[in-house]
Structure 1
Amino acid sequence: MEHNIQLTTPEIAALWTTYIQNSATNCFFKHFLQKVEDSEIEKVVKEALFLGEKYNEEIVKIFSSEGFPIPDGFSDKDVYLSAPRIFTDLFALSFVYRVGQMTVPYYASVLTKIARRDVVAFFDECLRTSVKHYRNALELMLGKGVYDRPPKIPYPKKVHYIHEQQSMLGSWFGDKRPLNAMELGEIFYVIERNYIGLVMLIGLIQVMEDKEVKDYLVKGKKLAEKQVEVFNKVLKEENHLGNIPVSMEVTDSTVSPFSDKLILFLITATSSAGLDLLAYAMATSLRKDIATHYATIMVEVAKYGEDGLEMLIKRGWMEQPPQAMDREKLR
């Protein structure tokens, strides 16, 4: 029968990864809720925490029924609720929005790789509720005036076809065709997510005492600044107004509300997610100069993520994902 079917590797990977990631972001939501002042933002953050905890409870049930070990992940030991706030309410809202940007496509992708009915039903529920919550966060950002809309272009008068390959791909130097809608959209979102990441890094650097981790965060801040600068320059050169998001302030607190392990994991994990998004942006860019920008930055982001991973492993903070049996060692 269906319930006797063993979990496949994609199903194990999806459940395990979801548990770890939710346990990390839940710590941030708990911190925000201790200090939030805006009642509308509080409601959205509470919903985010409720969903994250609900999803993890379901994963525990599935793993327990399979005799599968529950991941350690992150817990209340990694968030210090009495610590002063380091981010404003607007950043808390932007954080929820950014998490939604990552989880909605993640759950959609997972659903294309799994088959067991209970696991499919679980991730289907994750996707539907995450989409609804993301829309709530987006609507609130629009209402608060902190959502910077992507660039607009005049509507075309008719359908056009590409006749000259050189004009579409663009040359390495000299004249270039105008950016198309897909390219403009992806450039906007590269800037937006790096700006949100930049604000987060400013706050985390401010409270970090460990020199090695702090140096890593500073390096990440410079990498985020570079991406904002590079792609804002592209927009301005194309006579589009550079994306200048509404300021989301960081407080003057120097007391960390999070464990060093949680901070290092979150920054490393978001770097990996950013690499995936840069690859997608590169794939949709037909102009060679834009693709070159992406390719160059992807190398730096990949190296940055690798450095973070090595630091997690060196400190014994990296939980090992479920692995296949090493049959060579059984010989």
Structure 2
Amino acid sequence: MQSENNIKLTAAEISGLWSAYMSDSLSICVLKYFLEKAEDPEIRSVVEYALELAQTHIVKLTAIFNGEGFPIPYGFKEDEDVDITAPKLFSDAYFIYYLKQWSSIGLEAYSLSLAMATRSDVFGYFSQCMEESKKLLEKTNNVLLSKGLYIKAPYVTTPKKVHFVEKQSFLTGWFGERRSLTTLEVSNLYGNLQRNVFALTTFIGFGQVAKSKEVVNLMLSGKEIASKHIDIYSTVLKENDLPASMSWDNQVLDSTVSPFSDKLILFHVNSLAIGAIGYYGTSLASSSRRDLSAHYMRILVEVLKYTEDAAELLIENGWMEQPPIVVDHVKLAKT
């Protein structure tokens, strides 16, 4: 893809493209390992499709960067960050759950990048990525449904008529008679529960194989946080006679040989935590009950602290690649 009439990339476009490159280079490493280890033909097919998408994205992103004379991000390398000969760490079911979560995260990221894109080639790129992520999500859903692995959101009774809020008790949470959850609150609780069950399984697996003691400790800390959050969401759902999600920790096998570098592991879980912050912010903004708002505020603080700890460890090990930054003209003037 070539620049159009020498139109420069905006900061938002650079940010979206750079982040996409980092994510896809990581995905290639992870998916190559999954493809090597997946035994189920249906799941292998979806993994292969996802891998092809990530590889195609890297080619297109590289062309855009080269057209701008922009340095190609270092990202993650197959010869440095993955060992496809390592024993199988996760079950096939985890592979397909992973793709469901990752395609959902991709849709969120691509939609934001698309909304901020102004140059037609960049707009076209993210638009195509949106369509591909939708297709990937559809494929993962179909496999999950066909194998009886899909965990659906709770069903609720269909309302008979329109209602308007008449009392401020609608906001009550800690004291007084609490109202039932709204469907939007249920949706947020369920989504956050599912993401934390996935995160818990990932922390267990990564903590089992990470080489550095510091990285292992961070995985154990993440496991503890995810477990706590699962308890919170499950309790609120059960209090409203709604089912909570099943656990996925049995999807981790007994290997202690790491298929991934500690750099990849650390970057990966930090990315998941950063993504969770966005989901929690949305949940906080759309929850009217005060007890739910308090839960989300406390959870946000915990996850923010976790991302700070992960970032510090990345920096200490020289693993944090600096995103493109704005030129400091004051600093330049003083040199």
TM-score by length of 1: 0.97
2:223 to 208, 221, 225: 221
Aligned ranges for residues 52-91 of structure 1 at < 5 Å?
A: 52-76=54-78, 77-91=80-94
The amino acid that maps onto 2:30 is: F
2:131 maps to what in 1?
128
Structure 1 residues without counterparts, runs of 5 or longer: none
1:149 to 129, 152, 162: 152
Asked if the contact 1:90–1:248 (Cα under 8 Å) also holds between the matched residues in 2, the reply is no
Counterpart-to-counterpart distance in 1, 2:155 and 2:186 = 9
2:182 maps to what in 1?
180
CA deviations over 1:15-66 (Å, ceiling 9, x no partner):
0000001111221111111111000000000111111111111000000011
Counterpart-to-counterpart distance in 1, 2:27 and 2:97 = 13
2:29 to 14, 27, 30: 27
Asked if the contact 1:150–1:185 (Cα under 8 Å) also holds between the matched residues in 2, the reply is yes
The amino acid that maps onto 1:198 is: L
Asked if the contact 2:98–2:198 (Cα under 8 Å) also holds between the matched residues in 1, the reply is yes
2:119 maps to what in 1?
116
Counterpart-to-counterpart distance in 1, 2:242 and 2:248 = 18
2:304 maps to what in 1?
302
Asked if the contact 2:284–2:296 (Cα under 8 Å) also holds between the matched residues in 1, the reply is yes
1:208 to 207, 210, 224: 210
2:233 maps to what in 1?
231
CA deviations over 1:58-115 (Å, ceiling 9, x no partner):
0000000111000000010200111111001000001111101100121111111110
2:98 to 88, 95, 101: 95
Asked if the contact 2:200–2:249 (Cα under 8 Å) also holds between the matched residues in 1, the reply is no
Task: Calculate percent identity across the aligned residue pairs.
Answer: 39
The amino acid that maps onto 1:277 is: Y
Asked if the contact 1:146–1:246 (Cα under 8 Å) also holds between the matched residues in 2, the reply is no
The amino acid that maps onto 1:153 is: V
Q: CA deviation at 1:243?
A: 2.4
The amino acid that maps onto 2:99 is: V
1:272 maps to what in 2?
274
Q: CA deviation at 1:189?
A: 0.9
Q: CA deviation at 1:241?
A: 2.4
The amino acid that maps onto 1:218 is: L
> What is the count of residue pairs matched by the alignment?
330
- Counterparts in 2 of 1:175 and 1:42: CA distance versus 1, 3 Å: same
1:10 maps to what in 2?
12
- Counterparts in 2 of 1:262 and 1:170: CA distance versus 1, 3 Å: same
Asked if the contact 1:97–1:138 (Cα under 8 Å) also holds between the matched residues in 2, the reply is yes
Structure 2 residues without counterparts, runs of 5 or longer: none
Answering whether residue 169 of structure 2 is matched by residue 160 of structure 1, we say no
Counterpart-to-counterpart distance in 2, 1:221 and 1:128 = 33
Q: CA deviation at 1:129?
A: 1.1
Asked if the contact 1:148–1:246 (Cα under 8 Å) also holds between the matched residues in 2, the reply is no
Which 4+ residue blocks in structure 1 deviate beyond 3 angstroms? 245-248
Asked if the contact 1:26–1:53 (Cα under 8 Å) also holds between the matched residues in 2, the reply is yes
SS in structure 2 of the partner of residue 73 of structure 1: coil
Q: More deviation in 200-209 or 84-93?
A: 200-209
Q: CA deviation at 1:246?
A: 5.9
Q: CA deviation at 1:247?
A: 6.0
SS in structure 2 of the partner of residue 93 of structure 1: helix
Counterpart-to-counterpart distance in 1, 2:306 and 2:229 = 14
Q: CA deviation at 1:2?
A: 3.0
Answering whether residue 260 of structure 2 is matched by residue 287 of structure 1, we say no
Counterpart-to-counterpart distance in 1, 2:83 and 2:123 = 35
- Counterparts in 2 of 1:44 and 1:288: CA distance versus 1, 3 Å: same
Asked if the contact 1:148–1:245 (Cα under 8 Å) also holds between the matched residues in 2, the reply is no
1:322 to 310, 321, 324: 324
Counterpart-to-counterpart distance in 2, 1:248 and 1:96 = 18
Counterpart-to-counterpart distance in 2, 1:84 and 1:38 = 16
1:260 maps to what in 2?
262
Asked if the contact 2:270–2:307 (Cα under 8 Å) also holds between the matched residues in 1, the reply is yes
Q: More deviation in 248-257 or 94-103?
A: 248-257
Q: CA deviation at 1:216?
A: 0.5
Counterpart-to-counterpart distance in 1, 2:210 and 2:127 = 38
